[in-house]
């Protein structure tokens, strides 16, 4: 385990580390029905009609069999790397999940509307409770990197591994069809379904059906299971993950609706994780029970015999996987900046070429405005801000400077007089929650036209009256390209009233193709600069500097 200094200890090791899982009773009932109904039917069929007949399986002669069989080297390595990436995705995903330990099937994330939560706490109503307060601790035994408020590092691992998982699939699927191995996974007759059910009845009654030699063929239930894992589980997991992208949601409003909305996609992404884990448990159990040594030779060495070498090498492989978890834990804390830069080198070019090209255009109605919008961030403690807040910010002046031809100091009244735009948009937090709100304010495009940035100005820095997590002025940056996109504005009003202090008064940024931490609250001043590398630690913002967040979080 890692030892922290006092500041990090207070964040990562909270006094209350309890974990409680609460599930809405109707969902518990539905889960029980989904699990029990097939078993009851299988038990009933066996009790009334006896075990269903399954045709005896042919014996395969290695000397004469000419059909597709065996496991070529590329398939065996894909099997191993898929396991490595999948386990890392699960572990990093758990760290991301507990930063907002509630799952919903609505876009509002109103406390009490979740269908499952991983916290014993109810949101208090007698004081302000932020999304940061609601995050939970997770042991690094289960989560990567574990502890509390480590979503930035967890995301780095998640995206590095998801690219590895997808790349493995892009190699595996074409080779599957080129080699003819697809015939082992893809059913060629509808009779596979009744045969698979008969096989399930045998398993459900703890009676092993006739077991084929997996080197040559699978039984019907195995074939369907592998088909769903490759051609259903993987695509749904990837598409549900993409449906949590603010750039995607705000450009293609129909896309998240496939999953019942943005939070529906988050819930389905979690449920797919349970499907993967459930499949692995059943798969490994049956590999052990149906001839462990021979099965390990199949998938490790590509041979069909009882030599123990495949089993021994398999244990070596498992040791490597466990070693990678330990290494990842120490990399997370000993070299987090390197990890952040590796993830950036992989992800940033992809996002610039794809998600960042999308322009926000989604629209919501006033009827869709969320009844609860999670507050977040550390409220300013500066005396000048408190005095201005007491005076409704009549004395506030926004300072706009840096690489501009016309530096300006603007009051809220002057900002309002420059032109107002109204947008009703969905906010996407890096922690996982979302909320719909109406924002009124000055379009950044209009402000840029007035201050006239110099040609060398490529980046806009926004400075807050508030502090970052570990102290120091909170700031963040945006590329000039992104603040010129539609719906980007300096919001001075929310849901038809002046911006409340807990949501960022006097001004907050809205940029709808990115996650919420890039939308600086309690804005004090704006500065046009040449590069984000000239500020702080050069990563693009306080969260990027201190918590290793992404520079461009389009997803």
Give CA 23 to chain center in angstroms: 21
At 231, list the tokens.
């051609």
Q: How far is it, in rounded angstroms, from Cα 260 to Cα 280?
A: 27
CB-hemisphere CA count at 13 Å for 525? 11
pLDDT score of 56: 76
| DSSP count for the chain of H helices, then E strands | 20, 13
* 555, 256 Cβ separation under 8 angstroms: no
Q: ∠207-208-212 over CA atoms, to 5°?
A: 160
At 218, list the tokens.
């699978």
* 459, 528 Cβ separation under 8 angstroms: yes
pLDDT score of 209: 85
* 149, 132 Cβ separation under 8 angstroms: yes
Q: Which one, of 342, 12, 428, lies nearest residue 156 by Cα?
A: 342
Residue 424 CB contacts under 8 Å (≥ 6 apart), including other chains: 363, 364, 365, 366, 368, 369, 436, 437, 438, 439
pLDDT score of 166: 97
SS percent in the chain: helix, strand, coil, step 5: 50, 15, 40
Query: Mind listing the pLDDT tens digit for each residue in 23-51?
Result: 999 999 999 999 999 999 999 999 999 99
Q: Which one, of 496, 464, 462, lies nearest residue 479 by Cα?
A: 462
Query: What is the model's pTM?
Result: 0.94
Q: Which one, of 388, 368, 187, lies nearest residue 261 by Cα?
A: 368
| SS3 letters across 58-116 | CCCCCCCCCCCCCCCHHHHHHHHHHHHHHHHHHHHHHHHHCCCCEECCCCCCCCCCCCE
3-state DSSP call for residue 234?
helix
Which residues of the chain have a pLDDT value below 70?
1, 63
Core vs surface per residue 39-60: b (16+ CB within 10 A) or e:
eeebeebbeeeeebeeeeeeeb
CB-hemisphere CA count at 13 Å for 187? 18
Q: Which one, of 464, 468, 466, lies nearest residue 546 by Cα?
A: 468
* 299, 79 Cβ separation under 8 angstroms: yes
At 202, list the tokens.
């045998």
Q: How far is it, in rounded angstroms, from Cα 432 to Cα 235?
A: 21
Query: Mind listing the pLDDT tens digit for each residue in 165-224?
Result: 999 999 999 999 999 999 999 998 999 999 999 999 999 999 888 878 888 889 899 999
- In the chain, the domains with their CATH numbers are 6-121+130-356 (no CATH), 363-547 (3.90.420.10)
CB atoms within 10 A of CB 200: 19
At 106, list the tokens.
């609505």
Q: How far is it, in rounded angstroms, from Cα 213 to Cα 205?
A: 22
Give CA 176 to chain center in angstroms: 28
Q: Which one, of 47, 156, 30, lies nearest residue 92 by Cα?
A: 156
* 426, 249 Cβ separation under 8 angstroms: yes
């Amino acid at each position: 385990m890692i030892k922290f200094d006092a500041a990090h200890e207070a964040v990562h090791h909270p006094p209350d580390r309890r974990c409680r899982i609460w599930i809405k009773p109707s969902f518990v009932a539905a889960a029980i029905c989904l699990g029990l109904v097939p078993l009851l039917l299988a038990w009933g069929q066996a009790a009334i009609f006896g075990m269903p007949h399954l045709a005896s399986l042919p014996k395969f002669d290695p000397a004469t069999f000419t059909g597709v069989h065996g496991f070529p080297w590329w398939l065996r390595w894909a099997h191993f790397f898929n396991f490595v990436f999948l386990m890392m995705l699960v572990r990093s995903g758990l760290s991301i999940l507990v930063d907002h330990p509630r799952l919903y099937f609505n876009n509002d994330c109103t406390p009490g509307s979740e269908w499952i939560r991983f916290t014993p706490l109810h949101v208090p109503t007698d004081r302000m409770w932020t999304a940061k307060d609601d995050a939970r601790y997770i042991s690094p035994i289960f989560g990567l990197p574990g502890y509390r408020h480590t979503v930035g590092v967890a995301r780095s691992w998640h995206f590095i591994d998801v690219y590895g998982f997808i790349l493995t699939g892009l190699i595996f699927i074409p080779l599957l069809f080129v080699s003819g191995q697809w015939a082992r996974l893809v059913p060629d007759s509808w009779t596979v379904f009744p045969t698979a059910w008969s096989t399930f009845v045998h398993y459900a009654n703890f009676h092993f059906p006739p077991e084929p030699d997996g080197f040559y063929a699978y039984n019907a239930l195995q074939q369907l299971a592998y088909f769903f894992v490759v051609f259903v589980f993987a695509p749904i997991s990837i598409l549900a993950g993409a449906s949590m992208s603010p750039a995607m949601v705000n450009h293609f409003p129909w896309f998240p609706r496939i999953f019942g909305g943005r939070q529906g996609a988050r819930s389905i992404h979690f449920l797919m994780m349970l499907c993967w884990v459930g499949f692995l448990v059943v798969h490994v159990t049956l590999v052990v029970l149906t001839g462990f040594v021979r099965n390990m030779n199949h998938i490790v060495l590509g041979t069909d015999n009882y030599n123990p070498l495949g089993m021994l090498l398999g244990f070596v492989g498992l040791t490597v996987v466990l070693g990678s978890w330990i290494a990842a834990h120490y990399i997370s804390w000993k070299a987090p900046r390197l990890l952040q830069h590796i993830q950036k080198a992989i992800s940033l070019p992809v996002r610039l070429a794809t998600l960042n090209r999308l322009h926000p255009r989604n629209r919501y109605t006033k009827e869709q405005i969320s009844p609860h919008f999670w507050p977040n961030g550390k409220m300013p403690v500066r005396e000048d801000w408190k005095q201005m807040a007491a005076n409704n910010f009549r004395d506030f002046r926004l300072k706009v400077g840096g690489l501009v031809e016309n530096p300006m100091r603007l009051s809220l009244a002057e900002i309002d007089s420059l032109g107002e735009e109204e947008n009703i948009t969905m906010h996407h937090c890096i922690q996982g929650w979302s909320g719909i709100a109406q924002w009124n304010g000055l379009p950044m495009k209009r402000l840029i036209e007035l201050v006239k940035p110099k040609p060398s100005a490529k980046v806009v820095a926004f400075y807050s009256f508030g502090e970052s997590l570990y102290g120091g002025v909170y700031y963040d940056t945006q590329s000039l390209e992104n603040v010129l996109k539609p719906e980007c504005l300096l919001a001075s009003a929310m849901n038809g009233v002046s911006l409340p202090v807990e949501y960022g008064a006097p001004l907050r940024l809205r940029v709808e193709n990115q996650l919420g931490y890039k939308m600086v609250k309690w804005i004090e001043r704006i500065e046009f600069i040449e590069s984000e590398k000239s500020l702080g630690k050069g990563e693009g913002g306080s969260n990027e500097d201190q918590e290793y967040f992404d520079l461009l979080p389009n997803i």
